[in-house]
Amino acid sequence: KLFAQQQQQQQITEEKARLFTVLRHPIDRQISLFYYLQTATWEPTFNTKLQSMTLQEYVNSTWVEENYMVRSLVNKMEGPLDEVGDFNMAKQLLHDNFLIGILDNLEESVKRFDAFFGWEPTDIQCQLQYLQHGVNRGTDGDGSSFPASDTTTTNKDENNGNQQQTQRERLDENSATYQQLQEQNRLDIALYEYAKNELFPEQAALIQQQQQSVQ
């Protein structure tokens, strides 16, 4: 969809729009999504079968995502991916169309969005609270994938106001489950590493040039 929209936009105008996104490590995102969907009864994607599943069972199931980021960019949500062609297209689309943020560097990411788009936060305290406490960054500080403080996450059921607690498994990077997720999402991981290690530093210069041009 994005590729087709990009072509259409180029036909209509010479001006180029830029989207923005915040990227999270695909495995952290995948695991967080699983635990969220176990309790998110208000979501259209809520599935009662997930409630009784372990993380390993989810990873083995048909509901687990596979290279969601690459698939979304190239509009190929089903079927096999061309590991060279589709990956390179996703990489190019990300490079040409997105100002990216990295969840592990959220403060800097938000500063870049503000600077590039000319946004000014209306409530500095609200922004600081969000940056410091509003995001589960998916790591407990020792390399394990979640959670930031302990192994229990509380979600609010918006339909009845109840607080539901989900006991999360700690997942070591050497575990079979982690390795399986890594294999299932190797294109997304490669795209994330490109974005974090190459594109994010490259775009720092873009922001700097823009700021210098308006001074």
- pLDDT digits 0-9 by tens, 110-135: 989 988 888 887 767 776 766 676 55
**Range in 13-27, 41-55, 73-87, 116-130 with the lowest mean pLDDT:** 116-130
DSSP H or E stretch at residue 179: helix 176-184
Cα 18 from Cα 178, distance rounded (Å): 34
139 by Cβ neighbours in 10 Å (0-12 / 13-18 / 19+) ranks as middle
Find, among 31, 30, 48, the residue nearest to 39 by Cα.
48
In this predicted model, what pLDDT tens digit does every residue of 76-98 receive, in sequence order? 999 999 999 999 999 999 999 99
pTM, two decimal places:
0.76
Question: What's the number of CA atoms in the CB half-sphere (13 Å) around residue 187?
Answer: 22
Number of H helices, E strands in the chain: 11, 4
Q: List alpha helices for 118-166, DSSP H.
A: 124-133
